[in-house]
Amino acid sequence: MRSPHSREGENKMIYYGDRIFPVCPFNRQVVIAVLEAFLFGCWKIACPNKIICIFTIYKISQTISLLPNRKMHWRGSFGNHAGLLANVATAADDQVPLKIMLRHKCPDGDRVEFNVQVGHVDVASACSSSNRILCSTSHVRHYMSPGVTRTLVTTGKLRAAFFEPPGDGPFPGVVDVFGSAGGLMESRAAQLASRGFAAIAVAYLNYQDIPNDGFIDFDYFREAVHYLLNHEKVLKSGVGCVGVSKGGDIVLSMATYIPEVRCAISINGCNAVIGVPTKIDSHTTIPAIPFNVDGIINKSDGSIEGRYALHDPAGYPECIVPIEQSDSEFLFLVSLDDKDMDSSYYADCAVNRLREAARKNFVMIKYPDTGHLLEPPYSPHCFSSYHRMMDSNLVWGGELKPHCEAQEHAWAASIDFLRKHLVTSHL
């Protein structure tokens, strides 16, 4: 979808691709962007399960510009290469606070409907069928490229979604693990498959019949690795894994204790086990770092910052994942404005541990002004939202523009890293 612009001699039109929107010279108009979405949060809005964004069109000299309502967050310009959904904001904070857009199931993508309406429209009336719509168009963000297939996995104890690229293969395999909010998060695995990886998104908390035993049984993740390696279209030389937040320490453990894991990407994770202990096998269990209640920062809006909510891993060596024992390759992606975890310090500790063991099997990239939720590009930046397991509104951090730019860079770095260690090294 192209950015809106006026063409010479036609300054009363606004263009979205091949669609032409007439602009009245005397009446103010608004563009209503409505996104059907999964909203994971604690407060209700006027239009359930929809993200509403309002822009005002003004006639300025001989050009037409889109300017945001003064209460709206602005996510770059419509022409920003960061993509449409990175540019579409939720409504004002006092109307849609503490929301995060989640895509649990990916086949349909995210459809954004743009309606041009006359006069003042607020969020409460944006969904009204009585509004006068001059014209409309839509934009769809796809997570799965043509030919990618999605299969729900219920083999043994494993609960996951497997995404297979089109073609005969064999494809490099990747295990994708999200954080402690739980559920089955599929968007990143779908996008990995769209780039040639056989990716499996693994649920391990708060999903279907997965037991809550007070610890993580590592055999569960071994099962995910073996599922990939036993698939006829997956390379047998080994797999990669990607994890964010709590998933970060899981993938470090996978790279340490599962020989078939050749590389791991930790995104704003910890160098030690957090939350609940990890039972590696019948002889080894890594305990979790205790919470530091005094480190929690309570904000005036009721949300909390958990950056220092864990005790220093240095004081709990038994909780640290011994990654120096691993021959896998590591990529640490770190946000320097992470308000939820002290991820920069944890990554430094992990890298120092490798250096002390004379290991060079790591890369670390740090991103200034970037928050905890470092997702694939074109995902809307979320500064704060409700966390199901914590039963609180957590601050994730990050500034809009640098966060969106970091997501682009981190995604490209991740793809290059996985290809280098799963594909190039296989040749």
Sorted by where each starts, the structural domains of the chain and their CATH numbers stand as 13-141 (2.60.40), 149-426 (3.40.50.1820)
Structure tokens at 223: 């099962």
Question: pTM for the whole thing?
Answer: 0.80
Which is catalytic among the residues 372, 387, 403, 421? 372
List per-residue pLDDT tens for the chain, 427 residues long.
333 333 333 333 333 333 333 433 434 445 555 554 433 332 233 344 454 454 444 332 222 233 333 332 323 222 232 333 333 333 333 333 444 455 556 777 777 776 676 666 665 566 666 667 777 777 778 899 999 999 999 999 999 999 999 999 999 999 999 998 888 999 999 999 999 999 999 999 989 999 888 899 999 999 999 999 999 999 999 999 999 999 999 999 999 999 999 999 999 999 999 999 999 999 999 999 999 999 999 988 888 999 999 999 999 999 999 999 999 999 999 999 999 999 999 999 999 999 999 999 999 999 999 999 999 988 878 888 877 777 788 999 999 889 989 999 999 999 999 999 999 765 5
User: Which spans in 171-299 are helix H?
Assistant: 187-193, 219-229, 246-257
**Beta sheet of 384-387, edge-to-edge order:** 297-298, 304-305, 392-395, 384-387
Residues 6+ apart with CB under 8 A from 304: 296, 297, 298, 390, 392, 393, 394, 395
pLDDT for 139 equals 74
**Parallel, antiparallel, or unpaired: how do β-strands 133-141 and 278-279 relate?**
unpaired
Nearest-CA neighbor of 200 among 252, 165, 170, 168? 165
C-alpha of 54 from chain center: 24
Token pair 């904000």: residue? 299
The question of whether 338 is a catalytic residue gets the answer yes
Which is catalytic among the residues 187, 245, 335, 379? 245
pLDDT for 33 equals 52
**Parallel, antiparallel, or unpaired: how do β-strands 216-217 and 160-164 relate?**
unpaired
d(CA 132, CA 408): 38
Count Cα atoms within 13 angstroms, Cβ side, for 396.
Answer: 26
Single-letter residue type at 257: Y
pLDDT for 138 equals 76
Give the N- to C-terminal CA distance of the chain in Å, as an integer. 38
The question of whether 245 is a catalytic residue gets the answer yes
d(CA 175, CA 187): 13
The question of whether 249 is a catalytic residue gets the answer no
pLDDT for 213 equals 87
Structure tokens at 38: 């999964």
Which is catalytic among the residues 110, 337, 338, 342? 338
C-alpha of 383 from chain center: 12
